[in-house]
């Protein structure tokens, strides 16, 4: 266990260590390590990201890396090639080049005189992805990985496609990266910052165009999807997720696929669990330290005896676009995740959601704007991003309710829906929501799933829907752990549109359900906590001066003349000055998603980001714009980037693209 007698260890911190790769590209690393590490080498913990250690991830880095370093680790935050203060150009996400660069960094770390030769990788989202991807290459020094909010399948479970449907996050996150990658290095660190900046601006790709050229699960997506060969991962993996996040399915998948892997899922959105919302938070740093001490230092910390799967079973609560606290309890599965749990089968019938089979004759022809209360695909910015009251969307869907439950019912795992249906169109999509209906009618989304009907048999080789003939679809909803209280109801809501989460099919189809079945993974009701984590701790917070406070807005508008319905998102992330080195950074994101209820071809998404960077008398700014719309056969995209130095336009570029729709 942790020896606290000499803690915390005094540290050395270097904000800009150069790591030169074999092709001559210099990466910039920020390193925290014990002062005595040259005499007593320590393991290294690497976080490898494109999100800028100087002004992007600084807040969370401050809370995390020094704490590990004070306990005998060298913590290393590296800006990937083409980002932050590193040289080079970034071409795409999760490339073989990115992974090869990271392996070089790992081998460099292991060879340093202050490193013991053992390396771990830790990261959330992008850093969680590439931790698994690099582990699949099995570099010798890499002994352990802590992956948070990541995926094992890039096509099935990232921000591009879900159930073969095009996620609007493909444009939304692509617009984010268009903005992020347009930023300059810190002029204080790079004398050639202006040349680096212009090189980036001229070379950075508009990634939504690239991603839209791969509308099936082809080799592009298989590269970097560790589900292709779990056995390639030899490092010990601790996987962590949050029920409020888009990335939760990988945790039980990894637990059941990798020997020795452990999983934790809390109520959180896309954040590290020692400062995440909604609470309760956990002592993530202490839990991670146990993992590092076991696998990087060889200290028996008892992690091998931990339950395989520790998850927060959330009490059912009223719908809310934002909550700071989720009532519930921690439950633990000793052996595996959820595949061994009992199942309860319910049937979709004309009489509701019943224990017995019955006739079913529902017709589904959903207005194109159904889905307005879906919330963000990936809740991350700490604004009103969670699903709202589902009653409006339920009114536009076919719904099937149980009778009031006789006792509390705990759903733990991934519900599975199976439907026999007919369609009058060769393409279409279907969205299934599992909702908790309160006695007064309020409807809380428990979990959901979507399917492109052309992908019903294969995401690699889609096929048109057999018009007029009965066919079967079966797919999982997202994993969840949720308690529905006695006296409340379960509801299955089925629609063939889910905007603005997914891009609509070219035509509104009419679906007729012939039969349906819901399989619920069911765990016996538990009382109190089955596992107790230590309370959250952090290192001291990042010291900043606020120049503009952050603010987050979500609003819906209906044009009473045209009928167009719009979701407007305005995320002002504020503007701050770093109290240590003085760099000023600010950011504002704006999105608008619009559609007419009777016209899926009216769908459009518009994004506009402003990025600000200031250093002494240098003021840098980029304005990035992105737009997407479609007709029956093509997706259309435009993008623009403008770069300003002291309010003078020094660079501009426009992109326009049209891409054929492929069963989409």
Instruction: Give the rounded percent of residues in the chain with a pLDDT score beyond 90.
Output: 98
What's the whole-number mean pLDDT along residues 450-466?
A: 98
pLDDT at position 592, please? 98
Between CA 602 and CA 608 the distance in angstroms is 20
3-class secondary-structure state, position 528:
coil
- Residue from 664, 639, 642 nearest 175 by CA: 639
Note the pLDDT of residue 202.
97
Tell me the pLDDT tens digit for each residue of 184-206: 999 999 999 999 999 999 999 99
181 touches 174 (CB < 8 A): no
Cα 595 from chain centre: 25
| The Cα angle at residue 440 between residues 438 and 446, in degrees rounded to 5 | 25
* Residue written as token pair 């079913």: 360
Residue-level pLDDT at 1? 40
The mean per-residue pLDDT over the stretch 622-646 comes to 98
Give the burial string for 48-60 (b: 16+ CB within 10 Å, else e): bbbbbbbbbbbeb
Which residues partner with 286 through β-bridges?
Answer: none
CATH of 342-523, one of 1.10.10.10, 2.60.120.260, 3.20.20.70, 2.60.40.1120: 2.60.120.260
DSSP per-residue string spanning 135-149: HTT--TTEEEEEEES
Q: pTM (2 decimals)? A: 0.97
What is the pLDDT averaged over residues 429-444? 98
Task: Identify the pLDDT of residue 627.
Answer: 98
Dihedral (Cα; 519, 521, 524, 530), 10-degree rounding: -170
pLDDT at residue 5, as a whole number: 52
Nearest to 57 by CA among 142, 127, 159: 127
- In this prediction, residues 479-488 reach a mean pLDDT of 98
How many CB atoms within 10 Å of residue 79? 26
With a CB cutoff of 8 Å and minimum separation 6, the contacts of 406 are 486
**Left (φ > 0), alpha (ψ -120 to 50) or beta: where does 302 sit?**
left
Task: Please state which CATH class domain 11-154+223-307 belongs to.
Answer: alpha beta
Q: Say whether pLDDT at 382 is over 90.
A: no
| Mean pLDDT for all residues in the chain | 97
Distance CA 393, CA 202 (A): 44
Q: Note the pLDDT of residue 381.
A: 83
Average pLDDT over residues 281-288: 98
C-alpha distances (whole Å) from 645 to each of 88, 197, 199, 517 are 21, 11, 15, 60
- Give me the residue label for tokens 């609470």: 279
Q: State mean pLDDT over 508-527.
A: 95
CA end-to-end span of the chain: 53
- Ordered by start, the domain boundaries in the chain are 11-154+223-307, 342-523, 544-579+582-660
Half-sphere exposure of 347 (CA within 13 A, CB side): 13
- For residue 226, report the phi and psi dihedrals to the nearest 5 degrees: -70, -10
Sheet architecture: strand order including 398-401: 398-401, 489-495, 429-437, 443-452
């Amino acid at each position: 266990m942790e020896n606290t007698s000499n803690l915390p260890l005094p540290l050395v911190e270097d904000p800009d260590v150069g790591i030169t790769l074999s092709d001559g590209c210099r990466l910039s690393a920020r390193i925290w390590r014990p002062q005595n590490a040259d005499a007593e080498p320590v393991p290294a913990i690497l976080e490898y990201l494109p999100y800028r250690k100087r002004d992007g991830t600084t807040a969370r880095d401050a809370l995390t890396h020094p704490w590990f370093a004070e306990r005998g680790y060298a913590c290393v935050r590296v800006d990937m090639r083409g980002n932050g203060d590193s040289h080079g150009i970034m071409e795409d996400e999760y490339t073989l080049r990115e992974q090869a660069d990271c392996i070089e960094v790992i081998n460099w770390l292991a060879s340093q005189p202050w490193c013991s030769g053992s390396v771990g990788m830790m990261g959330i989202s992008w850093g969680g992805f590439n931790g698994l991807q690099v582990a699949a290459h099995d570099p010798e020094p890499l002994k352990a990985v802590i992956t948070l909010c990541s995926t094992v399948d890039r096509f099935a479970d990232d921000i591009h496609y879900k159930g073969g449907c095009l996620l609007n996050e493909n444009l939304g996150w692509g617009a984010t990266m268009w903005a992020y990658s347009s930023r300059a290095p810190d002029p204080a660190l790079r004398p050639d910052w202006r040349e680096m900046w212009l090189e980036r601006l001229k070379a950075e790709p508009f990634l939504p165009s690239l991603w839209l050229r791969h509308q099936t699960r082809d080799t592009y997506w298989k590269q970097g999807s560790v589900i292709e060969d779990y056995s390639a991962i030899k490092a010990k993996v601790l996987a962590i997720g949050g029920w409020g996040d888009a990335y939760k399915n990988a945790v039980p998948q990894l637990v059941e696929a990798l020997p020795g892997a452990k999983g934790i899922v809390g109520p959180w959105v896309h954040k590290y669990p020692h400062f995440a919302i909604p609470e309760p938070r956990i002592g993530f740093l202490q839990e991670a330290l146990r993992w590092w001490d076991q696998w990087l230092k060889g200290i028996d910390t008892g992690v091998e005896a931990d339950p395989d799967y520790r998850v927060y079973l959330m009490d059912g609560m009223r719908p809310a676009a934002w909550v700071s606290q989720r009532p519930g309890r921690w439950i633990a599965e000793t052996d595996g995740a959820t595949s061994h749990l009992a199942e309860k089968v319910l049937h979709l019938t004309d009489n509701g959601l019943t224990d017995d089979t019955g006739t079913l004759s529902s017709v589904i022809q959903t207005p194109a704007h159904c889905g307005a209360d879906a919330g963000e695909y990936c809740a991350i910015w700490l604004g009103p991003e969670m699903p709202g009251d589902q009653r409006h969307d339920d009114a536009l869907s076919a719904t099937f309710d149980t009778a009031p439950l006789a006792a509390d019912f705990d759903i733990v795992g991934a519900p599975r829906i199976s439907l026999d249906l007919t369609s009058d169109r060769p393409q279409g999509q279907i969205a299934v929501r599992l909702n908790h209906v309160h006695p007064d009618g309020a409807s809380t989304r428990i979990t959901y799933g979507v399917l492109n009907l052309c992908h019903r048999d294969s995401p690699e080789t889609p096929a048109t829907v057999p018009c007029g003939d009965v066919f079967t679809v079966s797919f999982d909803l997202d994993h969840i752990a949720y308690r529905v209280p006695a006296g409340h109801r379960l509801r299955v809501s089925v629609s063939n549109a889910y905007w603005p989460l997914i891009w609509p099919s070219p035509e509104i189809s009419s679906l007729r359900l012939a039969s349906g079945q819901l399989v619920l993974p069911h765990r016996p009701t538990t009382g109190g906590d089955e596992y107790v984590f230590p309370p959250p701790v952090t290192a001291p917070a990042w010291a900043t001066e606020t120049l503009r406070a952050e603010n987050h807005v979500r609003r819906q508008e209906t044009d009473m003349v045209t009928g167009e319905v719009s979701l407007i998102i305005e995320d002002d992330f504020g503007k701050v000055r770093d109290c240590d080195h003085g760099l000023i950074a600010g950011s504002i994101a704006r999105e608008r998603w619009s559609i007419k209820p009777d016209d899926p071809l009216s769908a459009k998404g518009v994004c506009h980001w402003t990025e600000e960077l200031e250093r002494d008398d240098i003021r840098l700014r980029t304005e990035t714009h992105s737009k997407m719309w479609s007709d029956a056969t093509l997706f259309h995209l435009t993008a623009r980037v403008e770069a300003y130095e002291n309010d003078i336009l020094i660079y501009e570029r426009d992109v326009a693209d049209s891409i054929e729709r492929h069963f989409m």
